[in-house]
């Protein structure tokens, strides 16, 4: 793999898709307002839960805000990269344009996952980041190197898991052709990531850590953020993330064997 070539290609991707999106300027402005309102809405919902309770599932309001912050960052990443690209797979397969992607002298997964970018998700990432900074202050967390590396590491793992989930579902399009709504189902399940896992009943907790690993996506990074997480949980997260990444890659290569272009 030639890293420099891929970097160069990615720069071109960035340039073209940004130029394309910036054609719709009011659109971006509206999306920015949407992101702000959405964060206000979720904090409002959280405050309803906490208006008569000190803690929910062992999390106090100030601590639950951390989950909210991490969720907002991850949601921003989803909206910036995963959502615009991976819904495109559906289009490629329906219209038969996946052929053109496969013929290019570049890795097809790389092309398909990074071709487009939606700049309006950036604000969400920034908002989430500021919310986390605010949480550092109100929870009196002291910053040091190990804290930063562990947090970064777990968040990177969450991003990998999230990406793999999206990519996995989009790949199934090769068999089912129309899976727009499957991503919608995933989206509604991911919504749960806004709340601490412990606030759900036992059976749902199992479901959300085994079948759809939402527990790993937001709760563990938040625990790390608070300095509460045990080492085995962090290691488990790393293992889960790598398993997800590798299987999604294998699954894509496997699925391509079944791809026959349109009208063949």
The 159-178 contact track toward another protein, x by CB under 8 A, reads: -----------------x-x
Residue among 53 and 144 whose Cβ is closer to another protein:
53
Which residues, including other chains, have CB under 8 Å from residue 134's CB and lie 6 or more apart?
65, 69
The verdict on 54 binding another protein (CB under 8 A) reads no
The verdict on 146 binding another protein (CB under 8 A) reads no
Residue among 15 and 178 whose Cβ is closer to another protein:
178
Residue among 201 and 263 whose Cβ is closer to another protein:
201
Instruction: For residues 154 and 157, give the distance between their C-alpha atoms in angstroms, rounded to a whole number.
Output: 5
Closest to 193 in 3D by CA, of 228, 224, 229, 217: 217
Instruction: For residues 9 and 3, give the distance between their C-alpha atoms in angstroms, rounded to a whole number.
Output: 10
Q: Show contacts with another protein in window 193-232 (CB under 8 A).
A: 195, 199-201, 204
Distance in Å, CB of 36 to another protein, minimum: 9
The verdict on 37 binding another protein (CB under 8 A) reads yes
CA-angle at 41, arms to 126 and 224, nearest 5°: 50
CA-angle at 174, arms to 169 and 180, nearest 5°: 50
Please state, as a whole number, how many other Cβ atoms lie within 10 Å of the Cβ of residue 125: 18
Query: Residue numbers of the site for another protein (CB under 8 A)?
Result: 24, 26-27, 30-31, 33-34, 37-38, 41-42, 44-45, 47-49, 51-53, 56-57, 176, 178, 180-182, 184-185, 187-188, 191-192, 195, 199-201, 204
């Amino acid at each position: 793999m030639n890293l420099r070539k891929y970097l160069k290609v990615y720069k071109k991707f960035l340039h073209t898709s940004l130029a394309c999106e910036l054609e719709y300027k009011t659109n971006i402005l509206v999306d920015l307002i949407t992101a702000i309102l959405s964060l206000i809405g979720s904090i409002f919902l959280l405050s309803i839960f906490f208006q008569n309770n000190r803690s929910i599932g062992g999390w106090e309001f100030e601590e639950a805000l951390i989950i909210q912050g991490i969720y907002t960052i991850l949601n921003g990443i989803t909206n910036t990269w995963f959502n615009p690209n991976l819904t495109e797979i559906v289009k490629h397969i329906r219209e038969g344009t996946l052929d053109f992607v496969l013929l290019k002298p570049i890795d097809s997964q790389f092309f398909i996952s990074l071709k487009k970018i939606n700049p309006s998700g950036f604000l969400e990432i920034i908002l989430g980041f500021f919310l986390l900074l605010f949480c550092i202050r109100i929870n009196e967390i002291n910053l040091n190197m190990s804290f930063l590396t562990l947090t970064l590491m777990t968040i990177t793992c969450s991003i990998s898991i999230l990406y793999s989930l999206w990519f996995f579902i989009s790949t199934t399009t090769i068999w089912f052709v129309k899976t727009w709504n499957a991503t919608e189902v995933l989206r509604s399940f991911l919504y749960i990531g806004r709340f601490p896992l412990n606030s759900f009943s036992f059976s749902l907790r199992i479901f959300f850590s085994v079948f759809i690993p939402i527990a790993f996506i937001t709760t563990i990074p938040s625990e790390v953020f608070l300095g509460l997480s045990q080492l085995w949980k962090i290691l488990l997260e790393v293992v889960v993330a790598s398993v997800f990444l590798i299987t999604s890659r294998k699954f894509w290569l496997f699925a391509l064997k079944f791809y026959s272009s349109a009208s063949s």
